Chain A
Amino acid sequence: MLRFLGLVALGALIGSLAALAAVSFVAAVLWLNDVLLVSPRGRMMFAHPGALVIATVLVPTLGGLVVGQLHRALPGRRPHTPADVIAAVQTRRGRLPIREGALSALSGLVSLGAGASVGQYGPLVHLGASLGSLGARLLRLGRSDDNITIACGVAAAIATAFNAPLAGIVFAHEVVLRHYALRAFAPVAAAAIVGHVIATNVLSRGALFHVADTVLPRPWEFAVFVLIGGLGALVAGAYMRSILGVGRLAERLPLPPSLRPALAGALLGVTALWVPDILGMGQETLRFATIAGAFGGLELLVVLVLKLAATALCLGMGFGGGIFSPALVIGTLFGALCGTLVGGLGGAQDTFVFYAVCGMVAVTAPVIGAPLTSLLIVFELTGNYALTTAALASVILASPIAAQLFGRSLFDIQLAKRGLDLSAGRSRALLQDARLHDLLSHICVTLPPEQCVSEAVTRLSRSGHGEAHLVDAKGCYRSSVTLADLEAMREDGDGGRPVKDCPSTPRPVLGPQTSVWEAMRHLQEVTGEAIAVVDEAADGAFLGVVYETSIARAFLQQSDALRREEYGAG
């Protein structure tokens, strides 16, 4: 009980730290945007058109240079993102290093400050998670508690940045923890509330959308919203595919990785000379897209495509930053496009904002893999129930279609490419992540292949083992033989022959990096007491054996730990 209450208090503490970090981050980005002539206000107040043109190209380019240098200090030479947080929690490896968290946040800050078309919530989530993990590490808590404190940091970051505590709590469960345990809920909720309190007192920001009148959509319009959801899934897919595609193309560029963001920045800046809407997070563009008549139909399409391309360029070429804010903008533009089309076909214009919000949710929910969070963000930011139900209609098709066609979220797709497949759930991912070398045993009988059968029988019988592994003079694994087979040979009068002549059924061998999951699958084909572990990289060197019982035990332990974490009440 006390321990649990302590965890709640820790959650609140981490929440306040993460919230303060988020508040400073947001303020710093706004300041940088004003000073560096990225924000419309900063650009408008700068009276020298010639210098503005130069700055528009130069600022993102130099920002890219700085970001490229920053990333050289990071493992993997890339900024860490919410995907890394998900991986840490889902594999129970926990432990997000604070250095990576801080450097990634700095990279996000520079990217956003210099006007790259990236989001701010990704870096905030990662920073919050890193702070949470730091708290758990300082208090020497276990892995389950570490996961909870990570979720606390995430929830507080979202609760502060959006001023949406419910969305923060649900995001932490839906995207990061991916389970619902009372044990986790209370600390996460505490963190989100603290974030909310700090946000309302420090960041006094207007509602993201303001819906003046309580117009209600007509019944047939809900059918259109559902349809927008289906189409939005395709836009989300195009968005995710473009980011990954540019990433692949960037690998082939004859340009060192640290210079790639600068190239992207230069391209972005040149394009922004004609379409400044694509610079930065695009909050003004988002707002305009909710106003009927602010964009022409064709203009919406052009800005939509360019914003999508600009974001793919920036993220694919290595700028630091999130995927969420650009998705909000792209989705809202897409919804506005749908609204304009429907309006052109004779629909009413007074429900325009509903279309914009439906498009927004239809694109963002699949991208972050969080339909509930997206809905709650709409609800908490607008306080408008009618708008939320419309968004619900669009999410019905958006999330499943995108999940079927592309994957649960961009994070999941990225993790799958790095070898962590979360599509079959957490338990499998965990078993796939658990490595065999922890279970490796050296208590086994190894025989040189030249040893004669009768000596082998004697050695095996005395050692109490039922099978032996043949390892040659170089330490290479040859095969495994059972006591029964050797005994049969001796009975046949072949006791003087070397053991390598003994007939043995071909057996699978495991590598040291084989996962527990794979070993479990091999168990189905093998009868015996242990499987040999062989390092294929070192010419088949024999490393030891893994007993079937220890594989089964590892499996049960993992399942037990998961059950305790996911269903434990306190």
Chain B
Amino acid sequence: MVRAERRRGATGLVSAMLLGLVLAMGMPLCWPLPAVAAPATLTVLSWGGAYERAQQHALFAPFTETTGIPVNVARYNGGLAALRRAVAEENVPWDLIDMTRSEAMAACAEGLLEPLSPSLVAPAPDGTPPDEDFLPGAFSRCAITHSVFATVVAYRRDAFPGRRPTSIADLFDQRRFPGPRALQDTPAANLEWALLAYGVPREELYRLLSTRRGLNLALKRLNGLEDLRWWQAGDTPSRLLAEGEVVMASGYNGRFFDAMVNRGLPIEILWDGQVQEHETWVIPRHAPNPEAARRFVRFATTTERQAELARYIPYGPSRQSAARQVSTHHGTGLDMRLHIPTHPLNAKRAITRDDDWYAQTRERVGEYFRAALFDTPDEASGAVAEPPADGETPDPDS
């Protein structure tokens, strides 16, 4: 065993050196056009805010340093409308988009994206091939997952003296954990948690949610919650928790991290049942500099860059080799392992959101959800073209 590890270490070293050589010498040969001929700018569409600042530190600046290609960032707010328009007019201003996997799948199906081959990314430093190193489902036809964020439940540390929630079923247990709750006004995550609370194993969630019976069962549990607040904007849950309006709230793990670390809010994340979503890199069709974009994707998905990004924001690297290397927070020296969704400590009972399922069922499930919980099906279905449920686009961290 030891010998095997040592050998792996040795081959890892060799391949890392080889990789270094290739990077140092080969790259200008392989991709000479943008770097040498015209140092075109790489335009990236990303989410702004703290998220973009982290990318700037960990990815964009080092990329420019290594390749000489400047990176220009445009602000993205989710959705496909702008991309659809730009591709139709064959005038696409972006080379690369940071997109959720569910939207990437839809965009890919519509033919708005260039195909991306898994062979684009580098192996891990120890030589592990990408398809073993990346999370399952990280590669799809047009998208490569670079990081993972989670919808989780957070609770006020001072709300339940003497005990603390350990399982997602505790979200629904207002006898042992009394107090108001806040949940997002969309089906995603809520339905999954409600079924988990019945003891359904996570592998069967979407199969059971595919039946009328499963949906009703989940909605019954949600309906049983007293003092429930529905939130829409991503910053609401931590505000409600801070003001003491609720004792438990769902939200994006990045937001909760921000509230805990930067604002000292006395809250704790319940990682059990976290619903993971993938953030991917995609290259739009008719992108002006697709080669530079590919080069960036290879650069930004290396183990080293992924681990570095996780020092700025609590996003889980999509490579296991990187998740293991996650260290401390860049500013505060906080142990980031406790805040990374994909770290083995937190991912024990994680649910991977079934984007395929949601892509096909979002509108029907959303209507059913609103009709059952908000008693205003007409109002909601009136806005079905861009329903409030489309707050699915995470905007997790601005």
Point out residues on A near B: beta carbons under 8 Å. 39-41, 43-47, 204-207, 210-212, 276-277, 283-284, 287-288, 291, 293-295, 353
Contact = CB atoms under 8 A, between A and B. Distances in A.
Contact of B203 (A40, A206, A276, A295): A206
Nearest to B201: A206
A288 B201 contact: no
Contacts of B207: 39-41, 283-284
B217 to A, nearest CB: 5
B201 A212 contact: no
B210 A43 contact: yes
Instruction: Count chain B CB atoms within 10 A of each CB in A41, A47, A283 and give the residue with the most.
Output: A41
A44 B361 contact: yes
B202 interface: yes
Nearest to A299: B213
Contacts of B206: 41
How many B residues touch the partner, as a band?
A: 20 to 34
A210 B356 contact: no
A40 B208 CA distance: 8
Nearest to B198: A291
A156 B240 CA distance: 56
20 contacts: A39-B207, A39-B210, A41-B210, A41-B357, A43-B210, A44-B209, A44-B357, A45-B356, A45-B361, A47-B364, A206-B201, A207-B201, A211-B199, A283-B207, A284-B208, A287-B208, A288-B208, A288-B213, A288-B217, A291-B200
Interface string B206-244: 111111011001001000000000000000000000000
Given A41-B207, A276-B211, 19 more contacts: A39-B207, A39-B210, A40-B208, A40-B214, A41-B357, A204-B203, A205-B203, A206-B201, A206-B202, A206-B203, A207-B201, A210-B201, A284-B207, A284-B208, A287-B200, A288-B217, A291-B217, A294-B217, A295-B213
Contacts of A43: 210
Contacts of B211: 40, 44, 276, 284, 288
Interface string B326-341: 0000000000000000
A552 B199 CA distance: 63
Contacts of B204: 206, 284, 287
Nearest to A43: B210
A207 B201 CA distance: 7
Contacts of A45: 210, 356-357, 360-361
Nearest to A40: B210
Contacts of B213: 277, 284, 288, 294-295
A555 to B, nearest CB: 55
Contacts of A293: 217, 220
Interface string B158-193: 000000000001000000000000000000000000
A44 B210 contact: yes
Contacts of A291: 198-200, 217
A44 B363 CA distance: 12
B46 to A, nearest CB: 30
Nearest to B215: A44
B210 A288 contact: no
Interface string B244-279: 000000000000000000000000000000000000
B325 to A, nearest CB: 26
Contact of A44 (B200, B202, B360): B360
Contacts of B357: 41, 44-45
Contacts of B198: 291, 294
B231 to A, nearest CB: 27
Q: Give the top 6 A-B pairs by smallest Cβ distance, nearest first.
A: A44-B210, A206-B201, A40-B210, A206-B203, A45-B360, A41-B210
